[in-house]
């Protein structure tokens, strides 16, 4: 059995536990894994990276570098509303730091007051990469 066949078999088995074997969603998930593998081959890390990129697209987060060309005359980034240029020409990301209870926590909290803040100064070109801070 090939690596991808074993991944798909395992995935089918796991999807049964949550009832997705009877849902179109299960088929979509399996097809996504299969098609991505067909495109990139036996490269698990690359497959996972591509699937994570899909998550970023759903969250409307840029997946390539932000450059000076991505800002309007008012200093707002046209690709990500939380990035801007101030009147002094400095660039900021209001969501550079995310606060979570654990790494796999789907809830993201952004803080704008106090000692720990989500806002950070950035430099261009900039690739979005949120810093995760675990909070108790």
Q: Provide the pLDDT confidence category of residue 73 given band limits of 50, 70 and 90.
A: very high
Q: Provide the pLDDT confidence category of residue 66 given band limits of 50, 70 and 90.
A: very high
What is the per-residue pLDDT for 14?
Answer: 98
> Is the same domain home to 48 and 76?
no
> Is the same domain home to 48 and 79?
no
> Is the same domain home to 71 and 101?
yes
What is the per-residue pLDDT for 113?
Answer: 86
> Is the same domain home to 46 and 67?
no
> Is the same domain home to 47 and 76?
no
Question: Is it the case that residue 67 has pLDDT exceeding 90?
Answer: yes
pLDDT tens digit sequence for 39-61: 999 999 999 999 999 999 999 99
> Is the same domain home to 48 and 81?
no
Supply the range of the domain harboring residue 83: 63-136
> Is the same domain home to 17 and 83?
no
> Is the same domain home to 97 and 45?
no
Average predicted confidence (pLDDT) for the chain: 95
> Is the same domain home to 125 and 89?
yes
This prediction's pTM: 0.81
What is the per-residue pLDDT for 30?
Answer: 97
Provide, rounded to the nearest whole percent, the portion of the chain with pLDDT above 90.
Answer: 90
SS3 for the chain is CCHHHHHHHHHHHHHHHCCHHHCHHHHHHHHHHHHHHHHHCCCHHHHHHHHHHHHHHHCCCCCCCECHHHECCCCEECCCCCEEECCCCCEEECCCEEEECCCCCCCCECCCCCCCCCCEEECCCECCCCEEEECC
> Is the same domain home to 71 and 54?
no
> Is the same domain home to 70 and 128?
yes
pLDDT tens digit sequence for 16-44: 999 999 999 999 999 999 999 999 999 99
Domains of the chain: total? 2
Question: Is it the case that residue 62 has pLDDT exceeding 90?
Answer: yes
Q: Provide the pLDDT confidence category of residue 114 given band limits of 50, 70 and 90.
A: confident
């Amino acid at each position: 059995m090939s690596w991808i066949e074993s991944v798909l078999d395992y995935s089918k088995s796991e999807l049964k536990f949550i009832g997705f074997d009877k849902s179109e969603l299960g088929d979509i998930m399996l097809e996504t894994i299969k098609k991505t593998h067909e495109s990139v081959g036996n490269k698990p890390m690359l497959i996972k990276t591509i699937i994570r990129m899909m998550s970023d697209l759903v969250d409307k987060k840029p997946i390539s570098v932000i450059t000076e060309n991505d800002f309007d005359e008012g200093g707002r980034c046209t690709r990500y509303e939380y990035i801007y240029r101030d009147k002094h020409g400095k660039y900021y990301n209001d969501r550079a730091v995310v606060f979570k209870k654990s790494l796999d926590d789907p809830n993201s909290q952004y803080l704008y007051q106090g000692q720990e803040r989500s806002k950070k100064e950035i430099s261009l070109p900039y690739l979005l990469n949120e810093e995760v801070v675990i909070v108790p």
